[in-house]
Amino acid sequence: MAERKVIAVVGATGAQGGGLVRAILADRQGEFAVRAITRDVDSGKAKELAAMGAQVAAADVDDERSLEAALRGAHGAYFVTFFWAHFSPEQEIAQVRSMARAAKAAGVKHAIWSTLEDTRQWVPLSDNRMPTLMGKYKVPHFDAKGESNALFTEHGVPTTFLLTSFYWDNLIQFGMGPKRDADGRLALNLPLGNAKLAGIAAEDIGRCAYGIFRKGAHYIGRTVGIAGDHLTGSEMAAALSKALGEEVRYNAVPFDVYRGLGFPGAEDLGNMFQFYADFEDYFCGARNLAVARSLNPGLQSFGAWLAANARRIPLA
């Protein structure tokens, strides 16, 4: 067999990157090998990936030289940032600049950048339907990603811009799952109005990215949006009721109430949900289920994801 082309994966020990690493390793006859990038090659997760057959390389996205060294010789690279590790859009933009520069210097032939919309193109700062945050953002963790798209283009990196969706895993890990009210009844409390939410199993993001690398040149320079389902809060609650064997009601939390919950990032997430709801047609339209399935034939619906994961959702 010809030598395999290496895909270097930032965030390899995390949700998106981990899905891609596992997808590449699972395709034993495939054309790619995988290089897992981590800050700590000795961590348990890094060792697990090595044991599965991944190369492992050390780099920190805050250190461009380390990133460039980790990308050397790679055909492809998957780039994701970690907004919730620092809550700084400026740091996120600086990290993307390092990724773009490092990819160019290392001669990467196909990058996938895991991005989101710059919501200010839909909601200018002068639009008071939602507060402006940190002086110049509406949804900081979206806007910084969308603003950063241009960095790949400016640096001449052959890039696919991957628009991701809301992880259903947030119901498990981010405390967004159903909660019991004072009467002990379960409610899914989300600020979505009656709009549909484009959601996905986090693992499927990496699997879709693998499909993009396989299709190669066709996707360079393009934006691709992916989701596993487009569902209203009521539809999600109905699916949860079925999976949990107990009724879950949908409670449409007002955007302002959610923004005022006081946990770190509450305003950012409140604005994000309002963006989903106010621009539902655009947002879901940009995340085509059939395209996602063509990249990843095993793409999970919300029901399929729940069948495998509902028991992991904490019901406080």
Ligand X SMILES: NC(=O)c1ccc[n+]([C@@H]2O[C@H](COP(=O)([O-])OP(=O)(O)OC[C@H]3O[C@@H](n4cnc5c(N)ncnc54)[C@H](OP(=O)(O)O)[C@@H]3O)[C@@H](O)[C@H]2O)c1
Binding site residues, ligand X, CB under 6 A: 11, 13-17, 38-40, 43, 46, 60-62, 80-85, 141, 164, 166-167, 170
Give the pair of three-digit tokens for residue 148.
């950063």
Q: Which is nearer to ligand X, 44 or 245 (CB)?
A: 44
| Cβ at position 14, least distance to ligand X in Å | 2
- In angstroms, the CA 161 to CA 222 distance is 6
**Tokens for 83?**
């907004």
* φ/ψ of residue 146, rounded to 5: -60, -40
CA 47/CA 39 separation, integer angstroms? 12
Cite the DSSP H helix spans in the chain.
15-26, 44-52, 64-71, 83-86, 89-106, 140-154, 170-173, 202-215, 233-244, 255-259, 266-278, 280-285, 289-295, 302-309
Distance CA 109, CA 158 (A): 6
Q: Which is nearer to ligand X, 247 or 279 (CB)?
A: 279
**Could you tell me the smallest distance in angstroms from the CB atom of residue 185 to ligand X?**
26
Can you say whether the dihedral through the CA atoms of 10, 151, 294, 282 is positive or negative? positive
> Nearest 5°: phi and psi at 149?
-55, -40
Closer Cβ to ligand X, 13 or 274, answer by number = 13
Nearer to ligand X, 167 or 210 (CB): 167
Is residue 218 classed exposed, middle or buried when 0-12, 13-18 and 19+ CB atoms within 10 A define those classes? Answer: exposed
* Cβ-proximal residue to ligand X, closest one: 14
Count of all residues that appear for the chain in the document: 316
3-state secondary structure of 112: strand
Q: Which is nearer to ligand X, 159 or 164 (CB)?
A: 164
Report the sign of the C-alpha dihedral through residues 202, 204, 207, 208, in that order: negative
Mutual orientation of helices 233-244 and 302-309 as an angle, nearest 10°? 40
CB of 59 to ligand X, least distance (A): 6
Is the backbone of residue 73 left (phi > 0), alpha (psi -120 to 50) or beta?
Answer: left
What residue has token string 């507060």? 131
* Residue nearer to ligand X on the CB measure, 13 or 189: 13
